[in-house]
């Protein structure tokens, strides 16, 4: 009892210092090695994507060397079936993955997020219509729908991004709709309405900030699945087209030579796995940090 | 239970209509049309025949008429004809289905055998060495692309053992050992992600159950820990794991496209992919429709099993 009181006194006397966002993140990551690993991998990936022209030792499209040279010597990870430097192609390939991740998840977030908001805001008939549409989209295995859409529209990196964006949007519709519904029933929404706030103000001022956490987590996780999907598409020849270096394309075209030169398939695959792993680790950690349900130890 | 089944069956109708509509819209979005594609291979077709073909494919009709006609055919089991081989799609799909079904079933089985004990142990010895290892392995399993894993498995078996799977498909009913040998690498490649998902789900579900009051009661009345875990905890914890299985069928069907392609297994996924490569649209159309309907039906079945096992679900 006594300790409880002192604890309570201590809590009231010392005001909790408000930490800056960055300091908070640093502190959190220092205590969570898994999240830290994820963060480091993701940062490496982003730096690689942004700085590719500066970091790559060779032009990823030039064919200056002998074909299928093993690792070492002038080429750290060897050369591919056209004599192109594998390391440079992997570094430039990160740009494709990064771009696909950003744009396709962006499309999914725009379409799905809007549908989810509209659904949760208006409820009733609109909600059931959107719900049906989302159910129908979920009825297709995502990889098959992505392959079918890209196949129909003609294989290219752009159609890959559109296909992935469309197929992932129902996930965001669901992630946004549920908390929006809850928030719309809160009293402060009624209060805001009474003060004359319009629909847009309510959405931007009250709904969006309150649904940010699950949307951030879903964005990180979708980013990793989007990268995987693009790699799968390109591996099958339905995504980014050669000679442009995408990790999936490198793996797909290198497969014919893998017994002669294992490095042409080992390293691009490793790059995909590490980028996806980084995003998954970070996403998992963010969920633990942002989801109160998990924080209580229910996971 | 009967009422619940009926309600779910009625809800199935709009979903199936939506799926078929979406598939048709997708095919009408084609740049050019199926007739152009067909003519591309047979240069000798005149404008008269072209018009006949367009009418045959229903491309002259407005989309809703086209849809109703096509739906009428589909309901009667007529899924169209392959542009390349002229075979009826119903026959082709039935021929290819067993391969994909075997691949999916064996992958699920392998995932369960590995992941369920691992998930339970991780939960029981929470935060121990095994739990940490399983957690990291699970995250790695989720991150490694199945097509890369398949490529690596093929590479290493051929480099180090000199063994390569037979390239011609053997039916399990003709030669089971040869068939299983062929299935080994594809199944491992496809089930890695599934293992990770099932293990994580089993662990978290088991942890949730272990914190319940009835587990404390069972322990405090002096039951042996093994009995508490097996009879009280595991049975309840396994239920949510079943529901994830339904969603995972989607992953299995999608993954089958890639895995079947890599290992040259002529299943449904292989059929859809080659339909896309050869621009054989009836193949793609019927294949995608079949897969989506199968996925919905499996999920319905899983939901029904779930409702049967956990009566609370039925009264929602």
Point out the residues of chain A with pLDDT beneath 70.
1-21, 63-65, 291-299
Residues B17, B156: one domain? no
Contact at CB, B22 and A141, closer than 8 angstroms: no
- Is B84 inside any structural domain? no
Residues B132, B178: one domain? yes
- Is B2 inside any structural domain? no
User: The whole model's pTM is what?
Assistant: 0.86
Q: Which of A132, A144, A277 sits opposite B272 (nearest CB)?
A: A144
Contact at CB, B257 and A153, closer than 8 angstroms: no
Residues B18, B156: one domain? no
Q: What is the pLDDT of residues A249-260, one digit of tens each?
A: 999 888 888 888
- How many whole angstroms from its chain centre is CA B72? 26
Q: For position B127, what pLDDT does the model report? A: 85
Residues B117, B24: one domain? no
Contact at CB, A255 and B151, closer than 8 angstroms: yes
Provide the chain A residues 90-119 that lie in CB contact (below 8 A) with chain B: none
User: A34: which chain B residues are within 8 Å (Cβ-Cβ)?
Assistant: 135-136, 139
- Is B45 inside any structural domain? yes
- Is B85 inside any structural domain? no
Residues B49, B150: one domain? no
- Is B210 inside any structural domain? yes
Residues B39, B178: one domain? no
Q: For position B171, what pLDDT does the model report? A: 82
Assign residue B194 the CATH number of its domain.
Answer: 1.10.3720.10
Q: For position A200, what pLDDT does the model report? A: 87
B-chain residue closest to A278, CA distance: B143
- Is B1 inside any structural domain? no
Residues B154, B281: one domain? yes
CB pairs below 8 Å between A and B: how many? Answer: 136
Q: How many CA atoms lie within 13 A of B76 on its CB side?
A: 7
Contact at CB, B140 and A224, closer than 8 angstroms: no
B-chain residue closest to A149, CA distance: B26
Contact at CB, B250 and A251, closer than 8 angstroms: no
- Distance separating alpha carbons of residues B287 and A147, to the nearest angstrom: 12
Query: Which DSSP letter does residue A206 get?
Result: I
Min Cα separation A97/chain B (Å): 14
Min Cα separation B183/chain A (Å): 20
- Distance separating alpha carbons of residues A137 and B288, to the nearest angstrom: 13
Residues B169, B264: one domain? yes
- Which of B75, B101, B129 is the last residue in one of the domains? B75
Q: Which of A152, A255, A299 sits opposite B207 (nearest CB)?
A: A299
Going by C-alpha positions, the residue among A280, A278, A269 that lies closest to residue A235 is A269
Q: For position A21, what pLDDT does the model report? A: 66
Residues B153, B19: one domain? no
Contact at CB, B272 and A280, closer than 8 angstroms: no
Residues B67, B147: one domain? no
- Is B316 inside any structural domain? no
- Which of B27, B48, B75 is the last residue in one of the domains? B75
Q: For position A16, what pLDDT does the model report? A: 47
User: Can you give the residue range of the structural domain that contains B152?
Assistant: 92-309
Residues B47, B196: one domain? no
User: A129: which chain B residues are within 8 Å (Cβ-Cβ)?
Assistant: none
Total of domains in chain B? 2
Per-residue pLDDT of chain B (316 residues; tens, 9 = 90+): 788 888 888 888 888 999 999 988 888 777 666 666 666 655 566 777 777 777 767 677 788 888 888 888 888 888 888 877 888 999 999 999 999 999 999 999 999 999 999 999 999 988 888 998 998 889 888 899 999 999 999 988 888 887 777 777 888 888 888 888 889 999 999 999 999 999 999 999 999 998 888 888 888 888 888 888 888 888 888 888 877 788 888 889 999 999 999 998 999 999 999 988 887 888 988 999 999 999 999 988 888 888 888 777 666 5
Residues B178, B66: one domain? no
Provide the chain A residues 154-193 that lie in CB contact (below 8 A) with chain B: 154
Terminal CA-CA length for chain A: 32
Going by C-alpha positions, the residue among A99, A143, A41, A71 that lies closest to residue A245 is A99
- Is B146 inside any structural domain? yes
Going by C-alpha positions, the residue among A220, A234, A235 that lies closest to residue A275 is A220
Min Cα separation A15/chain B (Å): 34
Q: For position A291, what pLDDT does the model report? A: 63
């Amino acid at each position: 009892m006594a300790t409880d009181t002192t604890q309570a006194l201590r809590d009231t006397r010392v005001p909790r210092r408000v930490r800056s966002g960055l300091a908070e993140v640093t502190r959190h990551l220092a205590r969570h090695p898994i999240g830290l690993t994820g963060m480091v991998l993701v940062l490496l990936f982003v730096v690689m994507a942004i700085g590719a022209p500066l970091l790559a030792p060779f032009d990823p499209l030039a064919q200056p060397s002998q074909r299928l040279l093993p690792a070492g010597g002038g080429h750290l990870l060897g050369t591919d079936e056209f004599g192109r430097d594998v390391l440079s192609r992997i570094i430039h390939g990160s740009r494709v993955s990064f771009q696909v991740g950003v744009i396709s998840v962006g499309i999914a977030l725009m379409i799905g997020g809007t549908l989810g908001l509209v659904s949760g805001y208006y409820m009733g008939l609109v909600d059931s219509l959107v719900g049906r549409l989302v159910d129908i989209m979920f009825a297709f295995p995502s990889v098959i729908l992505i392959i079918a859409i890209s196949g129909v529209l003609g294989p290219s990196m752009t159609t890959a991004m559109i296909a992935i964006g469309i197929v992932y949007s129902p996930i965001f519709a669901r992630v946004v709709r549920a908390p929006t519904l809850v928030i719309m029933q809160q009293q402060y929404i009624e209060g805001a309405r009474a003060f004359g706030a319009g629909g847009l103000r309510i959405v931007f001022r009250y709904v969006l900030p309150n649904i940010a956490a699950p949307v951030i987590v879903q964005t990180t996780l979708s980013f990793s699945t989007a990268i995987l999907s693009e790699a799968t598409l390109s591996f099958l020849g339905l995504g980014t087209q050669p000679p442009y270096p995408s990790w999936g394309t490198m793996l797909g075209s290198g497969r014919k030579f893998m017994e002669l030169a294992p490095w042409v398939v080992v390293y691009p695959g490793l790059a995909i796995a590490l980028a996806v792993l980084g995003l998954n680790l970070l996403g998992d950690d963010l969920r633990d940090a942002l989801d109160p349900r998990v924080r209580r130890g229910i996971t | 239970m009967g009422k619940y089944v009926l309600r779910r069956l009625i809800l199935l109708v709009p979903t199936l209509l939506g799926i078929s509509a979406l598939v048709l819209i997708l095919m009408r979005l084609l740049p050019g049309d199926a007739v152009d594609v067909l003519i591309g291979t047979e240069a000798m077709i005149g404008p008269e025949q072209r018009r006949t073909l367009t009418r045959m494919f229903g491309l002259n009709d407005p989309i809703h008429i086209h849809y109703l006609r096509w739906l009428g055919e589909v309901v009667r089991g007529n899924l169209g004809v392959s542009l390349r081989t002229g075979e009826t799609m119903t026959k082709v799909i039935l021929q290819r289905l067993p391969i994909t079904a075997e691949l999916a079933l064996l992958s699920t089985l392998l995932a369960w055998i590995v992941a369920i004990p691992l998930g339970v142990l991780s939960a029981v010895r929470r935060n121990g060495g095994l739990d940490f290892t399983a957690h990291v392995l699970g995250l790695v399993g989720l991150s490694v692309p199945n097509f890369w894993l398949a490529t690596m498995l093929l590479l290493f078996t051929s480099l180090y053992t000199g063994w390569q799977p037979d390239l011609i498909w053997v039916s399990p009913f003709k030669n089971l050992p040869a068939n299983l040998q062929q299935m080994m690498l594809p199944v491992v490649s496809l089930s890695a992600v599934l293992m990770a998902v099932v293990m994580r789900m089993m662990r978290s579900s088991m942890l949730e159950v272990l914190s319940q009051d009835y587990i404390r009661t069972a322990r405090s009345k002096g039951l042996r820990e093994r009995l508490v875990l097996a009879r009280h905890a595991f049975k309840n914890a396994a239920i949510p794991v079943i529901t994830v299985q339904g969603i995972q069928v989607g992953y299995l069907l999608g993954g089958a496209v890639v895995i079947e392609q890599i290992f040259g297994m002529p299943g449904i996924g292989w059929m859809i992919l080659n339909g896309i490569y050869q621009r054989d649209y009836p193949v793609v159309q019927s294949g995608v429709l079949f897969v989506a309907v199968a996925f919905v039906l499996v999920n319905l079945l899983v939901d029904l099993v779930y409702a049967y096992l956990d009566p609370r679900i039925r009264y929602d």
